[in-house]
Structures are given as structure tokens and as C-alpha cells.
């Protein structure tokens, strides 16, 4: 844990909180968050949840969590600059946690929505049930993070590194790096152009002309290729992600706590049953936040680890209070943003842009106009980066444990394929051969709660 013991003293130089480097850093952090929101919406709609329900109720609160977190991190940067007298302090980046986006949607919100439909609820009523369950898990995660803030060093030492990072690697490699690849491959020309730019700029560190941020360049060029092919009659056309939004802008900031409390009084046993999935995801962001704080200290910005963890806990809680369903977390890119010359302007701009996108509704247009194939390559990079960091932070003798932890996630991928293929075959499970039934039951058992299984196996 890195905590500064520097005494508080008057500033020796004026804090230059915004500069040219903040422009590039803003586009990088903003596109990361927008990609996460597109991913969340796509996954939920893929489960059959009404698109307007997701955009009007779940997205605003989720965006508010990012707004709150990046504003707090901006304030912490000013505080550190004032305390140390330095003018080059870089704010910690914060955004939606990608592993939690997959974990929360495919293991909590999506299954609860489909189970509610199976009980005879209408689509909107089932979506409301799943929404309340998701925000319950978010509130629980925020409380857990706040409880960990004073003892984050002890938490880091207590949790076996290979176990925690193994479960993260399982999500990163088998889920984050694979499932978005299907959407990229569905429109390969635009998708692979965007992916090539992402990998060349963010992994190989190539520079684009005029120092254009890699993520921004990938989205712009990918969209040009995508819509250029459409003009040539080779693409699906405008709005491949669904119907055009009904209005230019809409104001939406749900305040669901009163209705949620009534729901919780009836459904708390079901909510408790999902905590073994939600808490490991929250724990992973706590340990990840500690690592991010240490990397920032190594780059020259010595933030208080407890304050960083508490800030992400507050951001997660605020998101849940306004109906969000995905937790926020510090991102690993602080040293890279500092090398760009970024200060605190980029987190302030990201907070305002992402928050307004959810509240004012222009995220609806982003989701409609920007195809997944050109934004999802950033998720491939995130998955690969998490995987690489997991092995880098684990001792060599524990590599096998990290690899073993990925196996349950592979079973989940197989189950996804089965669930998509079997209904098309038209055969009920009871009519399948006994050997096939046994194999499907085994895969289902191995994939069930794979995050917890990966944690234990690692």
C-alpha cells in the first residue's frame, strides 16, 4: 500500500490542471466508458430485455456512477497538488468495470430477467425485477468497498493472488476477449480495421498522425469503413443496433429507492442468493484499485490507497442510488495518461460527457449510430491487458493455478453455444440421447457460478 506521509504545506507552484495531454487522455477514457455502456446495453438486449427500458432506467444511473467517481478523482488530484506543491499531478482514471459488466449481466441480471419471464411476468415487469436485483447488487458492492477502504492493505495480503487474478483472467480471456470478437467478425472489414488500430496503438505503442488518440482513430476510421461499405451496398445500413431514438434528447434520472424498498421486502432471499457472484467482483476491483494506486505512486503521484478505494465505493453507491447496475473502478492507465501530459482536465471532461450522455439521452444516439464492430475492439484490448497483468503480477510457480481458473469460463462459453443451438434443433432435452444429456448436464454444472469456481480453483 502506498500512502504519502508528506506534510501539508502551501502550494509551491500553481497547479496546471488542464493541458494538451488532457485532450488525448479524454478521448481514451471517454471511449473506454462509452464502449462499456454499449456492451452493457447490447448484452441486456441480447437477453431479450426491452431496449428502451435499458436506455431509460439502467444507463442513466450507471453513467451517474462514472460522473461521481471521476469528479471525486478530479478533486483528489487538486488535493494532492495542493498538498505536495506540484503542478504536474495526474488524476486517477475511473470508469465502468468491464469484468463486472459481463459478470453482472450474464450471471445476475440476464438470468433473473429470463427467470421472471418464465414465471409469467410481462417483459416490462420482468425487466423491472431484474433492474432492482442489479441495483441491489450494486449497492451491496458499494458498501463492501467502503468497508474495505480502511483495511485495504490487509485485504490485499489476505486474498491469494493467483485465486483472485485467476478468476479475473477467466473473465478477461474467455469472455471479454472472445464474445466481442463475434460482433467484430460479423462485420470483418470495419471491425478488423478498428481492431488493428487499437492493437497497433495501445499494445505496440504506434503513434497515429497528428498524435490522434488510438481509440478515437479506431472508432472514426472503423465508422468510415462501415458506412462507406453501406453506401456501396455492402453493409446493413444506418442504425444496425436497433430502432432510431424517438427524440433528439431526453432527460432521465431515475430515483427508484421507494419502489425498490418494497420490492426488496419481498425478494430479498433471491437477492442474497446472488451475493456470491457480486462480492467477488467487488473484491476484484478493490485489489485492482490498490494496484492502480501503487502504479500511480510509481509514476510520481502518491495517492492515499484508502481514499481511492473509498472513492470508488462512493461512486458505486451513487450509481446504485440512481438505478445503475454496473460498478465503477479505477483504471490501470494512469502512467500512460501521465506520459501523455494529462492532468485533471481529462477526468473532469469524462465525468461531464459520460454523465450527460446517460442523463440527457444522447447515449441513445451513440448506441444507434456507432456499430459495435468498431467499438468492441477496445474490449479485446482490455481483455488482453487484464490477462497480461494477471500473469505479470503472479509468481511463475502459480501460473498453472491462473490457467486452471480459466477452465470453468470455457465451460460457460460451451454452454452459451448449446443454449443458442438446441432451440433451433427443435428437440427438447428429454428427447436427446442419454450420453448427450449427461454431457450437457456436466457442462452446465461446471459452468454454474464459474466466477466463484474460478476463484476457488485458483
Residues whose CB falls within 8 Å of the CB of residue 268, separated by 6 or more in sequence, listed in order: none
Cα angle 333, 336, 340 (rounded to 5 degrees) comes to: 135
Which of 10-14, 121-125, 378-382 is modeled with the greatest confidence? 121-125
What is the band of 339 on the pLDDT scale with cuts at 50, 70, 90? confident
Highest mean pLDDT among 300-309, 345-354, 379-388: 345-354
- pLDDT tens-digit series, residues 388-447: 888 887 888 888 988 888 888 888 888 887 777 777 666 677 777 888 888 888 888 887
The CA-CA-CA angle for residues 353, 356, 362, to 5°, reads 95
Closest CA to 322 of 35, 67, 100: 67
Burial of 115 (0-12, 13-18, 19+ CB in 10 A): middle
pLDDT band, residue 241 (cuts 50/70/90): low
- Quick one: pLDDT at residue 366? 92
Q: Summarize the confidence of residues 137-161 as an average pLDDT.
A: 87
Which pTM was predicted? 0.85
Mean pLDDT value of segment 112-131: 96
The pLDDT value given to residue 159: 67
Confidence class of residue 329 from pLDDT cuts 50, 70 and 90? very high
- Compute the distance between CA of residue 234 and CA of residue 289 in angstroms, rounded to an integer: 44
pLDDT tens per residue, range 18-38: 988 899 899 989 999 999 999
Q: Which of 131-140, 276-285, 361-370 has the highest mean pLDDT?
A: 131-140
Provide the pLDDT confidence category of residue 454 given band limits of 50, 70 and 90: confident
- The crossing angle, in degrees rounded to 10, of helices 345-360 and 59-84 is 160
Q: Is the pLDDT of residue 6 over 60?
A: no
Calculate the average pLDDT of the chain: 88
Q: How confident is the model at residue 166 (pLDDT cuts 50, 70, 90)?
A: confident
Q: What is the pLDDT of residue 238?
A: 62
| 9 or 82, greater pLDDT | 82
Share of the chain above pLDDT 90, in %: 51
Task: Report helix, strand or coil for 362.
Answer: helix
Number of alpha carbons in the 13 Å side-chain half-sphere of residue 382: 31
The pLDDT of residue 133: 98
Q: Which residue's C-alpha cell is 480453483?
A: 457
Contact 277, 103 (CB under 8 A): yes
Residue 282: pLDDT above 90? yes
Total Cβ atoms within 10 A of residue 182: 11
Average pLDDT rounded to a whole number, residues 247-253: 83
Q: Output the pLDDT for position 244.
A: 80
The pLDDT of 259-267, averaged and rounded, is 95
Does the pLDDT value for residue 5 go beyond 50?
A: no
48, pLDDT greater than 60: yes
Distance CA 36, CA 381 (A): 13
Cβ atoms < 10 Å from Cβ of 446: 17
The stretch 337-345 carries a mean pLDDT of 90
The larger pLDDT score, comparing residue 119 to residue 451, is at 119
> What average pLDDT does the segment 84-103 reach?
92
Mean pLDDT value of segment 232-240: 69
Greater confidence (424 vs 453) lies with: 453
- The reported pLDDT for the residue numbered 34 is 95
Specify the pLDDT at position 239. 55
Banded model confidence at residue 245, pLDDT cuts 50, 70, 90: confident
- Residue with grid cell 459478470, as numbered in its chain: 103
pLDDT of 292 > 70? The answer is: yes
Residues 238-262, mean pLDDT to the nearest whole number:
81
- Cα of first residue to Cα of last residue in the chain, in angstroms, is 23
The confidence band for 348, taking pLDDT boundaries of 50, 70 and 90, is very high
Integer Cα distance of 351 and 399 in angstroms: 37
Query: What is the residue extent of each domain of the chain?
Result: 21-388, 406-458
Closest CA to 372 of 35, 102, 98: 35
Q: Average pLDDT in the 133-157 region?
A: 91
Measured distance CA(63)–CA(118) in Å, rounded:
30
Amino acid at each position: 500500500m502506498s500512502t504519502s506521509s508528506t506534510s501539508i504545506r502551501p502550494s509551491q507552484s500553481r497547479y496546471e490542471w488542464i493541458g494538451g495531454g488532457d485532450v488525448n487522455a479524454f478521448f481514451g477514457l471517454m471511449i473506454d466508458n462509452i464502449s462499456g455502456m454499449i456492451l452493457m446495453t447490447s448484452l441486456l438486449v441480447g437477453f431479450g430485455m426491452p431496449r428502451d427500458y435499458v436506455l431509460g432506467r439502467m444507463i442513466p444511473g450507471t453513467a451517474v456512477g462514472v460522473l461521481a467517481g471521476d469528479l471525486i478523482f478530479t478533486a483528489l488530484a487538486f488535493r494532492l497538488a495542493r498538498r505536495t506543491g506540484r503542478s504536474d499531478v495526474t488524476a486517477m482514471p475511473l470508469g465502468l468495470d468491464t469484468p463486472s459488466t459481463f459478470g453482472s449481466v450474464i450471471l445476475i441480471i440476464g438470468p433473473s430477467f429470463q427467470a421472471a419471464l418464465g414465471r409469467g411476468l410481462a417483459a416490462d415487469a420482468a425487466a423491472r425485477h431484474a433492474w432492482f436485483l442489479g441495483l441491489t447488487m450494486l449497492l451491496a458492492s458499494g458498501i463492501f468497498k467502503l468497508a474495505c477502504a480502511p483495511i485495504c492493505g490487509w485485504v490485499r495480503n489476505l486474498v491469494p493472488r493467483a485465486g483472485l487474478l485467476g478468476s479475473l483472467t477467466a473473465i478477461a480471456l474467455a469472455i471479454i476477449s472472445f464474445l466481442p470478437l463475434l460482433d467484430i467478425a460479423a462485420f470483418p472489414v470495419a471491425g478488423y480495421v478498428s481492431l488493428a488500430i487499437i492493437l497497433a496503438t495501445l499494445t505496440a505503442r504506434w503513434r497515429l498522425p497528428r498524435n490522434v488518440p488510438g481509440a478515437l482513430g479506431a472508432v472514426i476510421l472503423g465508422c468510415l469503413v462501415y458506412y462507406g461499405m453501406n453506401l456501396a451496398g455492402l453493409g446493413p445500413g444506418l442504425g444496425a443496433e436497433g430502432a432510431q431514438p424517438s427524440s433528439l434528447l431526453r432527460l432521465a434520472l431515475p430515483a427508484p429507492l421507494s419502489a425498490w424498498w418494497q420490492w426488496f421486502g419481498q425478494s430479498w432471499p433471491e437477492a442474497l442468493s446472488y451475493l456470491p457472484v457480486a462480492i467477488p467482483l467487488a473484491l476484484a476491483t478493490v485489489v485492482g484499485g490498490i494496484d492502480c494506486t501503487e502504479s500511480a505512486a510509481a509514476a510520481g503521484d502518491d495517492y492515499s490507497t484508502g481514499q481511492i478505494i473509498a472513492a470508488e465505493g462512493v461512486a458505486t453507491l451513487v450509481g446504485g442510488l440512481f438505478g445503475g447496475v454496473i460498478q465503477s473502478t479505477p483504471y490501470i492507465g494512469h502512467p500512460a495518461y501521465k506520459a501523455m501530459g494529462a492532468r485533471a482536465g481529462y477526468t473532469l471532461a469524462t465525468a461531464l460527457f459520460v454523465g450527460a450522455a446517460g442523463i440527457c439521452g444522447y447515449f441513445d444516439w451513440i448506441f444507434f449510430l456507432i456499430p459495435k464492430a468498431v467499438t468492441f475492439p477496445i474490449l479485446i484490448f482490455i481483455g488482453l491487458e487484464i490477462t497480461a497483468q494477471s500473469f505479470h503480477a503472479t509468481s511463475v510457480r502459480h501460473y498453472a493455478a491462473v490457467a486452471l481458473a480459466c477452465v470453468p469460463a470455457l465451460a460457460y462459453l460451451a454452454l452459451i453455444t448449446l443454449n443458442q443451438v438446441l432451440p433451433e434443433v427443435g428437440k427438447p432435452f428429454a428427447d436427446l440421447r442419454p450420453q448427450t444429456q449427461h454431457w450437457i448436464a456436466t457442462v452446465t454444472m461446471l459452468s454454474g457460478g464459474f466466477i466463484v469456481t474460478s476463484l476457488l480453483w485458483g
